[in-house]
Structure formats: C-alpha cells, structure tokens
A = this chain, B = another copy of it.
Amino acid sequence: MAQLPSMHRPNLLDQLSPREREILPLVAQGKDNREIGSILFISEKTAKNYVTSIRKKLGLKNRTQIALFALKEGIISIEETFN
C-alpha cells in the first residue's frame, strides 16, 4: 500500500525549526551552501550549520540523502529542482 506524503511517521519534520524547514527544500534542489546563504542573506557558515542540523535530526548521511528524503516526503517535487 502506498504512503501519502502528508502522513509521516511520528513526524520527523516537526523536529525541524522554521528556519530549517526553509533550508531543507534548497538543499533538496541541489543548491550548495554558498547559494543557500546568498538566497537567504545569511553566511555560508550559517547555512552549513543548518544543513548539518537538518541532517542529524533526520538521521541522514549526506545532502544527497536529504534531497531524496525531501522527495519521498513530498516536500518538493522533482519538477521544482535545479533546471
């Protein structure tokens, strides 16, 4: 049986702060830390900290897995990625 994107397990996404939920789709679209920083007007270092925090909270190994997670959860659709 299929899993609807909106019905998560005990809700990993709720563990993310509002700002982290802003970062997540940008990572998932294939953007690097420098790009994320300039989009949100924060430093690359801060962007990096958010990505690390997201990754740890979601229990993932790298930012590619963050992207795949976001797609699985329906946070972004494949059409809204890079090009």
The residues of A with any CB-CB pair to B shorter than 8 Å are 27, 29-30, 32, 60-65, 67-68, 71-72, 78, 81-82
Contact = CB atoms under 8 A, between A and B. Distances in A.
Nearest to A67: B64
Contact of A61 (B27, B30, B60): B30
Contacts of A72: 78, 81
B78 A30 contact: no
A1 B67 CA distance: 25
Contact of A32 (B29, B62, B71, B82): B62
A64 B63 contact: yes
Contact of A62 (B30, B61, B65): B30
